[in-house]
Amino acid sequence: MAVANELVDRLQTLWDAQANEWPMMARGVEHLASSEVREVERGGLRCKLQFNPGRVVSAGAKVDAKSIAARPCFLCESNRPSEQRGVDAGDGYVFLCNPMPIFNPHFTVPTLEHQPQRIGTCLPKMLELAERLSGRFTVFYNGPKCGASAPDHLHLQASPLGATPFEELLVGVRKSGGNPSQGPADHDRSCGGGVDVEVTADPVQPAIVITGADRVAVLARAEQVVAKLAEHFPTDPEPMMNALALHADGKLRVVLFPRASHRPSNYGTDPGQVLVSPGLVDMLGLLITPRREDFDSLDGEAVAKIYREVSLGRVTLNQAGLWD
């Protein structure tokens, strides 16, 4: 039986109303409803491809400094469509419906103040929102150089809990004592202060999983891990990563996907290239393909190549000394 949650109810009401009164969002919801999904396997792991033409703008977004400076920020209140309304998220954040959704529902959670995308600024808010949306939504973050289409404006996103292959394993398998992505190796695990830190066993696309019941302790450990990544894999303005926070079964989980690059080497729209620009959702095993030709042609080997090029491999990640 679902636990009553006033915030979740308000968000669903907002989603339903905006889908009816905002034409741009209505088209995005239609694109999602008509999207196609198929599965591929890479290295024994299940991945999904979503053919969603409505995501072509995001996948092809120009995020270089010159392009960002040349366009108005679409997350600033003064530049949003007149039809777009929101729900207060507290602490200067607001829930907005994503007009080009990957999920139903799918929210963007920007700050009211225009400020750059930084994990250090929003990590406490991620965990707080994950607890408030417990069991219903995952809250996630795309780094300014690995998935954020608005790297100039701090924002989170929220999607239905368990809507991706990785989350299914993280929450579902762990209920029976299993581990995500084939499980972490025993020597790549740290436990202290009631918080576990593990690295998943996937050699191509490892993730760091931080788990605990106390938000303050989980936040402190997550900040330590981020600092370690910054020390060993420095990138301006922050170490490249995607992150999520979710709360289920009385525990908070923060998952970090350290990144090696923004996009694969064959990214593009020319023959032989693929228009896949991995963000957190793609790292969770749901690759968004806005072009039909990519959706039809990508197989397990091609998907593995994408992950291999954009991720820090497990051997490299172990150099960060997360267990020190």
pLDDT digits over 297-313, tens only? 999 999 999 999 999 98
Nearest to 255 by CA among 242, 267, 244, 239: 244
CB 58 within 8 A of CB 277: yes
Q: Give the helix ranges, DSSP H, for 162-297.
A: 165-167, 215-232, 280-283, 292-297
- Can you list the residues of the chain whose pLDDT is less than 70? 1-4, 57-61, 172-191, 323-324
Query: Thinking of the domain 26-320, which architecture would CATH place it in?
Result: 2-Layer Sandwich (3.30)
Nearest to 138 by CA among 162, 154, 170, 105: 162
pLDDT at 2: 45
pLDDT at 318: 82
pLDDT at 177: 37
Cα(312)–Cα(9) distance, rounded to whole angstroms? 38
pTM over the 0.85 mark: yes
The per-residue pLDDT of the chain, averaged, comes to 90
- Residues near 271 by Cβ (< 8 Å), separated by ≥ 6? none
Strands 45-51 and 286-289: parallel
